Structure 1
Amino acid sequence: MSAYSALTAASYRASVRDKTTVFFTFAFPLIFLVVFGLIFSGKTVEASGRGYIDYIAPGVLSWGVGNAAVFGVAFTLMQWRRDDLLRLVRTTPTPLASVLASRYVIALVIGAVQAVLFIGVALLPVFGLRVDATWPLALPVLVCGITAFLAIGMVIGSRADTPEAVAAVANCVMVPMAFLSGSFYPLDAMPSWLQSVSKVLPLGYLNDGISKAVSGRADLASTAVACAGLAVFALVFGVIALKTFRWSNES
C-alpha cells in the first residue's frame, strides 16, 4: 500500500470513527435548510421573482460544504500534529503532498454526499426547490470551492494547537462569512454594499456559482468567473498553508 493510500484510509477512518461528528457534519447545515425553508416557504424574492428556497438551498449547501472542508482538515492536522503522528510521517519518505492530498479526497467525497443530500431534501414538495438543466455547471464550482476552503482549513490547522482554538478560529471565519455571502439570506434582497462585500469572500463566489447553476441563470462565463475567484483564494491560502505548515508543535 502506498503512503497516499494509507493516509487516505487513515483519514477516512478518522472521519467516520466519531459518529456524532459524522451526524452533525450533515445534519447541522440541514437544520438551517429546514428552518429557513419553512420560514420562507412559498415566498419569493421581488428582485428576481424566484422563491427564497432557490437561494437558501444553494447558500446553505455552500456553507455546509465549506464548513466541512475547513473543520475537517483543521481538526485532523491539529490532532495529528498534537499526537506526533505528523512527526512520525516526516521520518518516512512520505511527501507533504501525500498528507494533504489524502485529506483532499475525503473532503471531495464529503462534499459530494452533502450536495446530493441537500438538493434531495430541498426538492421535497414542502420546500419546492426547482433545479434547471444548467445544474451540471455547479460541479466545477463545488470542486473549486472545496479546494479553497480546504486551503483555509490547512492554515487554521497548521497554527491552532488545541481543539478549542480550531473551533474558535474556524467559527470566527465561517459564521460571519455565511451571513455576508448570502448563505442564509438572498443577496438580491440585501443592500448593494453588502452585495459588494460578498465579492471579496470565497463563500460569495461559491454561493453565486452554485445558485446560478441550480436556478438556470448560469452560463460558461459566470461559471468561469466563480471558479476563477475560488481558484485565486485556493492559491493564496494554499501558499500561506505551505509556508506555515508545522510537522510538530515544537517546530
Structure 2
Amino acid sequence: MSAYAALTGAGYRAQIRDKATLFFTFAFPLLFLVVFGLIFSGQDVEQSGRPYISYIAPGVMSWGVANAAVFGVAFTLMQWRRDDLLRLIRLTPTGLPTVLASRYVIALAVGAVQAVVFVAVALMFGLDVGGRWALTVPVLVLGITAFLTIGVLIGSFADTPEAVAAIANFLMVPMAFLSGSFLPLDLMPSWLQAISRALPLRYMNDAVSASLTGEGSGGDILLGCGGLLVFTVVCGALALKTFRWSNQK
C-alpha cells in the first residue's frame, strides 16, 4: 500500500469514527438553512419574484463547506503534530505533498456530500436552481482548496484543540457575516462591502450563487473563481513556508 493510500485510509477512518464531529459538520450549516427556510417560507423577493431561500442558501452552503475544510485539516494537523505522528511520517520517504493530498481528497469528499445534502434540503424549501448549476462543482472545488490552505496555516500555528477552535472561529464567523453568507451585502455600508472583497468567502458566495441559482452573470463566476485561485496561491505558499512537522523547537 502506498503512503498516500495509507494516510487517506487512516484519515477516512478517523473521520467516520468521530461521530460527534461528523454530525455537526453536516448539521450545523443545515440548522441555519432550516431556520431561514422556516422564517421566509413562501415569501418571494418583490424585484425578482424568486423565493428568498434562493438568495440565502448559496451563501450558507458556501460557509458550511468552507468551515468544514478549515476545521477538518486544522484539527488533524494539530493532533498529528502533537502526537508526534507528523515527525514519524517525516522519517519515512513520505513528503509534505502526500500528507496534504491525503487530507485534500477527504475534504473534497466531505464537501461533495455536504453540498448534495444541503441542496436537497434547500429544494424542499423552494430553492430555484438555475440552468448553470453544474458550474457549482468547480466553484466548490476551488473554494475547498482555498479554505484548505487556510486550515493548513491554522493547523501549523495552533498547538491545542482550543487554539484551533479559537483561531478558526475568529476567522470564519465574522467572515460569514462580512461576506454575505448570513446578511445580504446590499444592507451593509459601502466601506464594509469594500472590506468584503478582501475575504475569500465573498468570492465563493458570489460564484456559487451565480452558478447554482443563475443570479448573476458568467463574469461573476469567473471573478469568484479568480479570487479563490489568488487566495489559494497566497495562502498555500504561506502554509508551505510555515508548516511544522513537530512541536519541538
**What interval of TM-score do these two structures reach, taking the shorter chain for normalisation?**
over 0.9
What TM-score, normalized by structure 2, do the two folds share? 0.96
Contact 1:8–1:103 under 8 Å retained in 2: yes
- Structure-2 change in CA distance of 1:142 and 1:52 (3 Å): same
Alignment of 1:13-162 (within 5 A): 13-46=13-46, 48-124=48-124, 127-162=125-160
Q: Which residue of 2 aligns with 1:173?
A: 171
Question: CA-to-partner distance for each residue in 1:163-194, whole Å, 9 max, x for gaps?
Answer: 00000000000000000111112223433333
Give CA-to-partner distance per residue, 1:187-226, whole Å, 9 cap, x none: 2343333332222110000111001112213544322211
> Does structure 1 retain, via aligned residues, the 8 Å contact 2:196–2:202?
yes
Distance change >3 Å, CA 47–CA 240, structure 1 → 2: farther
Residues 48-78 of structure 1: per-residue CA shift (max 9 Å, x gap): 5533211211111000000000000000000
- SS of the counterpart of 1:200? coil
Q: CA deviation at 1:42?
A: 2.8
- The gaps in structure 2 that reach 5 residues or longer are none
Equivalent of residue 186 in structure 1, options 181, 184, 187 = 184
2:169 counterpart letter in structure 1: N
Report the AA paired with residue 56 of structure 1: I
CA distance in 1, matches of 2:220, 2:181: 19
Classify the secondary structure of the residue corresponding to 2:197: helix
State the TM-score, normalizing by the size of structure 1: 0.95
> Does structure 1 retain, via aligned residues, the 8 Å contact 2:210–2:218?
no
Gap runs ≥5 in structure 1: none
Post-superposition offset of 1:47? 5.7
Structure 2 SS opposite 1:123: helix
Percent sequence identity over aligned pairs: 70
The worse-fitting range, judged by mean Cα deviation, of 70-79 and 193-202 is 193-202
Indicate if the aligned counterparts of 1:161 and 1:249 stay in contact, CA closer than 8 A. yes
Q: Does the aligned pair in 2 maintain the 1:181–1:187 contact within 8 Å?
A: yes
User: What is the match of residue 232 of structure 1?
Assistant: 230
What is the deviation of 1:40?
Answer: 2.0
Contact 1:137–1:218 under 8 Å retained in 2: no
Residue correspondences, number: 249
Letter in 2 for 1:164: E
